[in-house]
């Protein structure tokens, strides 16, 4: 009788723990990125009443054992993907596939699937508890050595880009007489965002199908030893008899200048596609890649984790990257509350990398991963577990009644 009581009590204890686990799953059915848990049982040692015997004259006999109850063998976290839900916040991030965001309180790193991020007063991306999202600044090749808090200074950061390339397109009139010329004005920028107007002057030479190219600026000294307002010869353009540019024979040097306080300019001129035909001269600049000063006005986070900023001057620049941590055994992570996890000896070390690489999932902005707890499954488990708990209480009461009958035998 005593054995059945202790066995039933072990069942009560085990199923009480499972009810606690189920209750926690149900409580977090709407918690962002929650990973449900599952309690698993194993039987305890059994008392052997009779050992097994080998077959001889008679057949063999199996062992006779009485179980001593059960216990909880493990409580496993299920890290499979939860459903993705769209939101209206561009800083909400969901991971499609494996991986974890890295956040920090300034002392240590934590890992989470909860992508409920926003900007704080300093422009850093933080979660609801103020932990900063960690990442890399610039492009992948720049700063993979150290994680830093990701910073998005909307309306604050001003950038400029010096002109490094100018592409031309159009026609030079083959009927232009020697001594005449065609000119075109264009603006360029230095590394400080200052704008300079330059005039490109094209003049036919005495040699057929050959033009000289000169550059003049009232604000800049073009070339080594030049002076503002003095034209500098950059080279010659040579055209074929059918009017196309002869790139092998043309010699155009880079436009160089040294603006005060800025990085020296070294601008490549590209005339590919220019023509010399009998028609009006309309050679003009198709593209130049410099920009004046501009402020960050918007940003977006791509599926590969790249944070792309758009500036008021039209520049588009990578301002950061969101890496993901990958674990060989994510079930080995330990919960720290607040949808956070930390590394344990059985989870493996965090392997950092870009989304979409080495088994990591992709990032979807304006979305959140929801709980993977299925309320229908949890209620089914709740019913079966409560019935098992009740059945164990019946064993206790029945064993008690039998013990009472044994005590009453002496009367």
- Tens of pLDDT, residue by residue over 363-372, are 999 999 999 9
Examine the pLDDT at 247 and tell me if it is beyond 80.
yes
pLDDT band at 138 (very low <50, low <70, confident <90, very high): low
User: What is the location of CATH 2.60.98.20 in the chain?
Assistant: 163-289
The CA-based dihedral angle spanning residues 304, 305, 309, 310, taken in that order and rounded to the nearest 10 degrees: 30
The mean per-residue pLDDT over the stretch 290-315 comes to 91
pLDDT band at 401 (very low <50, low <70, confident <90, very high): confident
The rounded Cα 275 to chain-centroid distance in angstroms is: 46
Examine the pLDDT at 143 and tell me if it is beyond 50.
no
Which whole-number Å values give the CA distances from 221 to 10, 109, 239, 247, 327, in the listed order? 91, 53, 29, 27, 58
- Count other Cβ atoms within 10 Å, centred on residue 208: 11
The mean pLDDT of the chain is 91
* Per-residue pLDDT, 57: 83
Q: Measured between alpha carbons, how far is 253 from 271 in angstroms, rounded to an integer?
A: 12
Q: Measured between alpha carbons, how far is 22 from 75 in angstroms, rounded to an integer?
A: 11
The mean per-residue pLDDT over the stretch 142-164 comes to 82
The mean per-residue pLDDT over the stretch 331-356 comes to 94
Among the residue ranges 4-18, 52-66, 69-83, 276-290, the one predicted with the least confidence is: 52-66
What would be the CATH architecture of the domain defined by 163-289? Sandwich (2.60)
pLDDT band at 155 (very low <50, low <70, confident <90, very high): confident
The mean per-residue pLDDT over the stretch 152-164 comes to 87
Higher pLDDT, 69 or 214: 214
* Per-residue pLDDT, 45: 80
pLDDT band at 208 (very low <50, low <70, confident <90, very high): very high
pLDDT band at 252 (very low <50, low <70, confident <90, very high): very high
Examine the pLDDT at 343 and tell me if it is beyond 90.
yes
Nearest to 382 by CA among 20, 78, 73, 75: 20
* Per-residue pLDDT, 164: 96
Rg (CA), the chain: 38
pLDDT band at 77 (very low <50, low <70, confident <90, very high): very high
The mean per-residue pLDDT over the stretch 386-399 comes to 90
Strands 367-369 and 84-86: antiparallel
Torsional sign, CA 226, 227, 232, 234: positive
Nearest to 94 by CA among 370, 281, 372: 370
pLDDT band at 408 (very low <50, low <70, confident <90, very high): confident
């Amino acid at each position: 009788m005593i054995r059945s009581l202790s066995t039933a009590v072990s069942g009560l204890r085990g199923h009480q723990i499972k009810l606690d686990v189920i209750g926690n799953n149900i409580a977090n059915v709407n918690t962002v990125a929650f990973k449900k848990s599952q309690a698993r049982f194993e039987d305890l040692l059994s008392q052997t009443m009779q050992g097994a015997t080998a077959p001889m004259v008679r057949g063999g006999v199996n062992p006779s054992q009485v179980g001593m109850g059960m216990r909880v063998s493990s409580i496993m976290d299920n890290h499979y993907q939860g459903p993705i839900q769209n939101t209206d916040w561009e800083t909400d991030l969901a991971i499609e596939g494996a991986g974890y965001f890295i956040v920090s309180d300034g002392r240590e790193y934590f890992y989470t699937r909860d992508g409920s991020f926003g900007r704080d007063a300093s422009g850093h991306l933080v979660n609801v508890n103020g932990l900063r999202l960690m990442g890399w600044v610039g492009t992948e090749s720049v700063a993979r050595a150290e994680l830093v808090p990701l910073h998005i200074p909307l309306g604050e950061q001003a950038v400029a880009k010096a002109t490094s390339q100018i592409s031309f397109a159009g026609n030079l009139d083959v009927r232009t007489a020697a001594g005449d010329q065609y000119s075109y004005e264009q603006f360029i920028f230095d590394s400080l965002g200052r704008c300079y107007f330059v005039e490109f002057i094209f003049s036919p030479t005495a040699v057929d199908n050959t033009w000289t190219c000169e550059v003049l600026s009232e604000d800049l000294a073009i070339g080594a030893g030049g002076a503002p307002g003095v034209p500098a010869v950059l080279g010659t353009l040579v055209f074929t008899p059918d009017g196309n540019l002869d790139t092998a024979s043309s010699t155009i040097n880079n436009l160089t200048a040294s603006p005060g306080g800025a990085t020296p300019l070294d601008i490549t001129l590209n005339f590919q596609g220019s023509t010399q035909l009998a028609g009006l001269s309309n050679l003009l600049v198709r593209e130049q890649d410099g920009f004046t000063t501009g402020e960050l006005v918007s940003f977006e986070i791509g599926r590969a984790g790249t944070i792309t900023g758009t500036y008021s001057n039209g520049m588009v620049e990578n301002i950061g990257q969101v890496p993901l941590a990958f674990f060989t055994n994510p079930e080995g992570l330990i919960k720290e509350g607040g949808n956070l996890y930390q590394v344990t000896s059985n989870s493996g070390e965090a392997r950092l990398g870009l989304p979409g690489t080495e088994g990591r999932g992709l990032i979807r902005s304006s979305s959140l991963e929801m709980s993977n707890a299925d309320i229908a499954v949890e209620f089914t488990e709740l019913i079966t577990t409560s019935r098992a708990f009740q059945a164990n209480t019946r064993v206790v009461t029945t064993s008690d009644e039998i013990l009472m009958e044994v005590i009453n035998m002496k009367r």
